[in-house]
Amino acid sequence: MTIELTSSAVKHIQASLTKRGKGIGLRLGVRTSGCSGLAYKLEYADEVQAEDVCFESGGVTVVIDKKSLPYLDGTQLDYRREGLNEGFKFENPNVKSQCGCGESFGV
Amino acid sequence: MLLQISEPDSPAPPRERKRAAGIDLGTTHSLVASVPQSVATVLPDENGRVLLPSVVRYGEAGEVTVGYGALPWLARDVTNTIASVKRLMGRGLADLGDARHFPYHWAETSGMVRLKTCAGEKNPVEISAEILKALRVRAETQAGGALEGVVVTVPAYFDDAQRQATKEAARLAGLNVLRLLNEPTAAAIAYGLDHGAEGVYVVYDLGGGTFDVSILRLSRGVFEVLATHGDSALGGDDFDHRVFCWILETANLPPLAAEDVRLLLMIARNAKETLTQHETAPVVTTLSTGLRVELTLTAEIFTEITEHLVQKTLMPLKRALRDAKLSIEDIKGVVLVGGATRMPQIRHAVADFFKQPPLVNLNPDEVVALGAAIQANALVGNRSLDSGEDWLLLDVTPLSLGLETMGGLVEKIVPRNAGIPLTRAQDFTTFKDGQTALAIHVVQGEREKVADCRSLARFELRGIPPMVAGAARIRIVFQIDADGLLSVSAREQTTGVEASVVVKPSYGLDENEITRMLEDSMAHARDDMQARALVETQVEADQLIELTQHALAEDGDLLNDAERSAIDAALEELAQRRQGQELNALRLALAKANSATAEFAGRRMNRSVQKALTGKRVDQVSGIRNQTVENG
């Protein structure tokens, strides 16, 4: 089981956490939603729950609940600029289909 | 699409215990109770007395005295000292029968009665509010702050006017009424019957001046009053009076002064109370005339002289049973309420009548207030703070709630741990062309497949107008009220046809079961992911097969034989893979079928465009354009 953050993602997360002033790391997950079935959850993590698994990447703690883990295993999280936007991008090898808007995906 | 980090769904902040109380607003006395630490207790006044006599006195100087302080005035200042105001709640003069039986000065009014006192005209709501205010002060002093809300009890037979009056009195006293609760139900809650087996229970309430019997049925955690009966002029005071008469006869006393009557009534009452513990009670006193009374009341004599009173309580019991069309064998338990039920002969009579011993281990004076306090504590949301015993009434959803979608998958609508009350809505659509009904299956659980979740309810939305698949807009709303009652409604947006169902989602689930369901969902995460992927692909395959067959029937002439057989072969393989459990093989077959039909789909598209344009005159088409230009 691995989750990897790119160096630009690490930089941005650390900056965001410092600016926010609290939080132990980043929480990733999936929830059922959208047109293709599943959508990513990307949140600040304030605590680790019993059902969570923690990863360390580039000095950032990544918290994932066990239920989401199989959907995210092997994911690389990148922070990048696309045109005028910048933000996080999930490179997830489990994804088999994606809906048009890109919000949701299928496995 | 690029994502941003969002704030976590704020986990429920550590909650402080909210202050709530239960109030038994009684005819002769009132009580207040609360649940300071998971166990309900009644709150005493500064002198350690729990009961507050329901007596209010308006003084010359405008001062208001409530409770023990007002008692001595009952005899001396009748028109300004009001007792048993509960009998007047929500009543007009016409309702009272003969208003002259009351010692008060009535004001002329068409609505609820008004009493002329030296502090002006007062109605029963204002008078009751004084009693409630005294109890509020008592509760707030001991709780150390304002009350969040209270539950006030009323007799089961109270009508809307009487209930409304009780609510208004509480509001006037500065209380937030969470709910009015029937007194017998409160007693049953105090005994925890709402957590026990379903069935029919009898509440036998013999107070100071009134007797009430109620038959309750507990089903799905909710009490329903099946029947009530009673005698509004029968109570513990009548037993005192019997002893008083016995003293007069036995000691052969001459007519007495008023103060001696009061003295002897008190002696009689003490003797009655002594007999709940002892076989004999001394009746010893000296009257104002110097006459000495020295008697011994035995339990035997007491039973004899009050026998007809005990029998009198059995009549309403029989009538209530008859009204509810029940026999004694149907009764699961009997609860005793009211101080007078301490008398051993009452307990024996009830036990004989129902052929089972009644529940007596709670103080019968306090049991109604205790039940109200438990309910109030639950309603303000303190339950989850008090050990897991009270999982039936939760203020968060213990498990996710969702709907069954195509292929037996669960679409979660309300996530687990969502605070209640809440409302969540999501739009759904039809799966097939011309579909006029939608089966709605409400499930609870964390797993991906319906089969692994708990089924809560099923209902159907009918009368959807025939449309192509995906055109209908059906809004499904999940609503959970403060009592944890879930109602699910479905509404087709264009026609407004509606269907709904109400369920109690946490009913019958205990903490272990909830924990197990959660752990299961973690343990099966990978299986569930595979299962979801398979089912989703299967649904997709079904849809493609159906669509293609439909298209072949309609536009099959667009294909030559070779093309047709290629499509048929691809569909056949897909249908075969659809039956299996091999996800990758199914995906492959699906992709093949998709590409085999791509050319056909393109030709159909061209044909329908041609169809849309043929038969239209050029000026019709251009007319639209002209209009657009003019508007632009």
Q: Residue A44 is nearest to which of B7, B522, B533, comparing CB atoms?
A: B7
Classify each residue of B317-329 as buried b or exposed e, where b means 16 or more C-beta atoms within 10 Å of its C-beta: beebbeebebeee
- A3-106 CATH fold: Hypothetical Protein Aq_1857; Chain: A; (2.60.300)
Question: Is A66's CB within 8 Å of B536's CB?
Answer: no
- Output the DSSP codes for B319-342: HHHHHTT--GGGEEEEEEESGGGG
Per-residue model confidence as pLDDT tens digits over B280-314: 999 999 988 888 999 999 999 999 999 999 999 99
Per-residue model confidence as pLDDT tens digits over B58-103: 998 889 999 999 988 887 888 899 988 998 888 888 777 666 667 7
Q: By the 8 A CB rule, do B172 and B126 touch?
A: yes
Q: Which residues of A touch B9 (CB under 8 A)?
A: 43
Q: In this structure, are B110 and B199 located in the same domain? A: no
Q: Residue B2 is nearest to which of A43, A47, A86, comparing CB atoms?
A: A86
User: Which residues lie closer than 8 Å to B224 by C-beta, 6 or more apart?
Assistant: B216, B217, B218
Q: In this structure, are B75 and B202 located in the same domain? A: no
Instruction: Supply the pLDDT for residue B504.
Output: 62
HSE-CB at B446 with a 13 A cutoff on CA atoms is 22
Instruction: Supply the pLDDT for residue B14.
Output: 45
Q: In this structure, are B210 and B132 located in the same domain? A: no
Q: In this structure, are B103 and B197 located in the same domain? A: no
Instruction: Supply the pLDDT for residue B98.
Output: 67
Per-residue model confidence as pLDDT tens digits over B393-416: 334 576 788 999 888 888 888 887
CATH code assigned at B116: 3.30.420.40
Q: Which two three-digit tokens encode residue B375?
A: 């309910």
Q: Do the domain assignments include residue B621?
A: no
Q: Residue A42 is nearest to which of B6, B415, B526, comparing CB atoms?
A: B6
Q: In this structure, are B368 and B472 located in the same domain? A: no
**Averaged over B513-521, what is the pLDDT?**
73
Q: Do the domain assignments include residue B50?
A: yes
- Output the DSSP codes for B397-442: -SS-EEEEETTTEEEEEE-TT-BSSEEEEEEE--SSTT---EEEEE
Per-residue model confidence as pLDDT tens digits over B212-259: 999 998 876 677 788 888 888 888 989 999 999 999 999 888 888 878
Distance from CA of A78 to the nearest CA of B (A): 10
Q: How many domains does chain B have?
A: 4
Q: Which residues of A touch B446 (CB under 8 A)?
A: 67
Question: Is A51's CB within 8 Å of B522's CB?
Answer: yes
**Averaged over B541-567, what is the pLDDT?**
88
Q: In this structure, are B226 and B315 located in the same domain? A: yes
Q: In this structure, are B494 and B565 located in the same domain? A: no
Q: By the 8 A CB rule, do B412 and B400 touch?
A: yes
Q: In this structure, are B172 and B196 located in the same domain? A: no
Interface contact A34, partner B, CB < 8 A: no
CATH code assigned at B414: 2.60.34.10
The domain locations on chain A are 3-106
Helices (H), B499-582: 511-523, 525-555, 561-579
Instruction: Supply the pLDDT for residue B24.
Output: 96
Give the chain B residue whose CA is nearest to the CA of A106.
B533
Q: In this structure, are B220 and B304 located in the same domain? A: yes
Report the distance separating Cα B599 and Cα B548, nearest Å.
Answer: 12
Instruction: Supply the pLDDT for residue B420.
Output: 65
Question: Is B532's CB within 8 Å of A37's CB?
Answer: yes
Distance from CA of B480 to the nearest CA of A (A): 21
Question: Which of 9-28 (A) contact B at CB < 8 A?
Answer: 13, 16, 26-27
Report the distance separating Cα A82 and Cα B463, nearest Å.
Answer: 47
Q: Which pLDDT band, with edges at 50, 70 and 90, does B390 fall under?
A: very low
Q: Which two three-digit tokens encode residue A88?
A: 């996080």
Q: Which residues of B touch A26 (CB under 8 A)?
A: 5
Per-residue model confidence as pLDDT tens digits over B449-499: 888 888 888 888 888 888 888 888 889 999 877 656 688 899 988 888 888
Question: Is A13's CB within 8 Å of B5's CB?
Answer: yes
Q: Do the domain assignments include residue B187?
A: yes
pLDDT exceeds 90 at position B42 = yes
Question: Is B11's CB within 8 Å of A47's CB?
Answer: yes
Instruction: Supply the pLDDT for residue B419.
Output: 65
Q: Do the domain assignments include residue B7?
A: no
Q: Residue A106 is nearest to which of B521, B528, B536, comparing CB atoms?
A: B536
Give the chain B residue whose CA is nearest to the CA of A85.
B2
**Averaged over B579-584, what is the pLDDT?**
86
Distance from CA of B447 to the nearest CA of A (A): 9
pTM confidence score:
0.54
Domain that holds residue B590: 527-613
HSE-CB at B531 with a 13 A cutoff on CA atoms is 16
Q: Picking from A21-25, B20-24, B377-381, B507-511, which range would have the lowest pLDDT averaged per residue? A: B507-511
Question: Is A88's CB within 8 Å of B411's CB?
Answer: no
Residue with tokens 């995460």: B525
Give the chain A residue whose CA is nearest to the CA of B446.
A67
Q: By the 8 A CB rule, do B324 and B215 touch?
A: yes
Opening angle at CA B55, ends B50 and B58, nearest 5: 130
Interface contact A106, partner B, CB < 8 A: yes
Q: In this structure, are B253 and B377 located in the same domain? A: no
Q: Which residues of A touch B1 (CB under 8 A)?
A: 101-103
> Which of B3, B446, B449, B524 to substitute to test the interface with A, most A CBs within 10 Å?
B3
Q: Which residues of B touch A106 (CB under 8 A)?
A: 533, 536
SS3 annotation, B565-585: HHHHHHHHHHHHHHHCCCHHH
Question: Which of 45-104 (A) contact B at CB < 8 A?
Answer: 45-47, 51, 65-71, 80, 82, 85-90, 96, 101-103
pLDDT exceeds 50 at position B624 = no
> Which of A18, A32, A63 to substitute to test the interface with B, most B CBs within 10 Å?
A32
Question: Is A102's CB within 8 Å of B1's CB?
Answer: yes
Q: By the 8 A CB rule, do B138 and B43 touch?
A: yes
Q: Do the domain assignments include residue B90?
A: yes
N-terminal to C-terminal alpha carbon distance within chain B: 35
Instruction: Supply the pLDDT for residue B280.
Output: 93
Report the distance separating Cα B269 and Cα B243, nearest Å.
Answer: 8
Domain boundary among B353, B387, B421: B387
Q: Which pLDDT band, with edges at 50, 70 and 90, does B363 fall under?
A: very high
Question: Is A44's CB within 8 Å of B8's CB?
Answer: yes
Q: By the 8 A CB rule, do B200 and B226 touch?
A: yes
Q: Picking from A88-97, B381-390, B438-447, B527-536, which range would have the lowest pLDDT averaged per residue? A: B381-390
Q: Do the domain assignments include residue B250?
A: yes
Does the structure's ipTM exceed the value 0.85?
no
Classify each residue of B371-395 as buried b or exposed e, where b means 16 or more C-beta atoms within 10 Å of its C-beta: bbbbbbbbbbbbbbbbeeebbbbbb
In whole numbers, what is the pLDDT of chain B averaged over residues? 84
Q: Which residues of A touch B4 (CB under 8 A)?
A: 42, 87-88
Known catalytic residues of B are 24, 86, 183, 205
CATH code assigned at B585: 1.20.1270.10
Q: Which residue has the higher pLDDT, B515 or B42?
A: B42
Question: Is A87's CB within 8 Å of B587's CB?
Answer: no
N-terminal to C-terminal alpha carbon distance within chain A: 17
Q: Which residues of B touch A70 (CB under 8 A)?
A: 525-526, 529
Q: CA torsion, points B449, B450, B453, B454, in degrees to nearest 10? A: 180
DSSP-derived secondary structure letter, B253: P
Instruction: Supply the pLDDT for residue B396.
Output: 58
Give the chain A residue whose CA is nearest to the CA of B412.
A32
> Which of B5, B417, B446, B526 to substitute to test the interface with A, most A CBs within 10 Å?
B5
Q: pLDDT over 70 for what percent of chain B?
A: 89
Please state, in angstroms and as integers, the Cα–Cα distance from residue A34 to each residue in A106, B427, B440, B447, following that order.
Answer: 10, 11, 20, 18
Q: Which residues of A touch B529 (CB under 8 A)?
A: 70-71, 107
Q: By the 8 A CB rule, do B61 and B164 touch?
A: no
Question: Is A32's CB within 8 Å of B533's CB?
Answer: no
**Averaged over B28-49, what is the pLDDT?**
90
Classify each residue of B221-238 as buried b or exposed e, where b means 16 or more C-beta atoms within 10 Å of its C-beta: bebebbbbbbbeebbbbb
Instruction: Supply the pLDDT for residue B630.
Output: 37
Q: Residue A67 is nearest to which of B7, B521, B536, comparing CB atoms?
A: B521
Report the distance separating Cα B286 and Cα B293, nearest Å.
Answer: 6
Q: In this structure, are B177 and B216 located in the same domain? A: no
Question: Is B4's CB within 8 Å of A89's CB?
Answer: no
Q: In this structure, are B489 and B538 located in the same domain? A: no
Question: Is B3's CB within 8 Å of A71's CB?
Answer: no
Q: Do the domain assignments include residue B55?
A: yes
